Amino acid sequence: MTDHAAELVDPRIRRTRLSLQQALEQLLDEREFEKISVQDIAEAAEVNRATFYDHYPDKFALLECMVGTQFEELLAQRGVVFDGGCVSALRAIILGVCDYVASRPTRCERQRQMEPHMEAAVIAVVRKMLLDGLQRHPPQGASPEMVATTVSWAVYGAAKEWLNTPRHVASEEIVETVMALVVPMLAEPVPQALHG
């Protein structure tokens, strides 16, 4: 979802996209996502609509990029790097997902249109991080892509379930439960009895 390849090639692209993301973030503090237009975002970023469309096909793509960038920054600030075999890195990823989704509940409650895009952005970041590590240390029994996709959806789904549980435990506590569910997916082949 994020634009790191383009950002490395041209700093002007990075500045423009960052400006558009910051404009959207500012507008989200003022009104609901569904009431924000591309023109509003372009004006707040001090660019024209054509420039907006040079970078994003619509406001949903911008939202996904913004969320992905924010989530990647959270993981980078925590020094999270997954090499395919490090359980502590997986724990940090799960904790990051829990903390990120918990930091945004009020906005999502009143802006339901944003939820699928936020979900897609966070899952994409987790999947990419897991896939990068799993390609270096391939799992047994399934392709790295399949495992990374399955685990990223499982982690996000578990974080959402945790957040929606009344009087939920602290994120540090739920991490161990989620770890117990996803670690076997990373390392173990599916037993023959389950193949049909």
Domain extent for 164? 62-191
Q: Inform me whether the pLDDT recorded for 3 exceeds 90.
A: no
| Higher-scoring residue by pLDDT: 155, 105 | 155
Are residue 184 and residue 104 in the same domain, yes or no? Answer: yes
Number of H helices, E strands in the chain: 10, 0
Encoded tokens for 63: 């939202």
Contact 86, 32 (CB under 8 A): no
> Sorting pLDDT into bands at 50, 70 and 90, what band is 137?
confident
* 3-state class (DSSP) for residue 142: coil
Are residue 101 and residue 167 in the same domain, yes or no? Answer: yes
- Average pLDDT along the chain: 86
Instruction: Say what the alpha-carbon torsion angle 168, 172, 174, 178 is, to the nearest 10 degrees.
Output: 150
Are residue 86 and residue 15 in the same domain, yes or no? Answer: no
List all residues 6 or more positions away from 123 whose beta carbon is below 8 Å from its beta carbon.
152, 153, 156
Task: Tell me the pLDDT tens digit for each residue of 165-193.
Answer: 999 999 999 999 999 999 988 875 544 44
Contact 72, 65 (CB under 8 A): no
CATH number at residue 47: 1.10.10.60
Mean pLDDT value across residues 143-150: 93
Are residue 118 and residue 138 in the same domain, yes or no? Answer: yes
Are residue 94 and residue 121 in the same domain, yes or no? Answer: yes
Task: Tell me the pLDDT tens digit for each residue of 102-136.
Answer: 887 554 455 677 888 889 999 999 999 999 988 88
Mean pLDDT value across residues 31-58: 95
Are residue 70 and residue 104 in the same domain, yes or no? Answer: yes
Whole-angstrom distance, CA of residue 95 vs CA of residue 80: 11
Last residue of a domain, one of 14, 29, 59: 59
CATH number at residue 158: 1.10.357
List the one residue out of 160, 172, 159, 154 whose CA is nearest residue 92. Answer: 172
Report DSSP letters for 36-80, one per residue.
--HHHHHHHHT--HHHHHHH-SSHHHHHHHHHHHHHHHHHHHTT-
Length in residues, the chain: 196
Residue 196 lies in a domain: no
> Sorting pLDDT into bands at 50, 70 and 90, what band is 85?
low
| Residues 154, 156, 157, 161, CA torsion sign | positive
Number of domains in the chain: 2
Least confident of 57-66, 73-82, 143-152: 73-82
Are residue 24 and residue 90 in the same domain, yes or no? Answer: no
pTM: 0.81
pLDDT for the residue 111: 61
pLDDT for the residue 190: 47
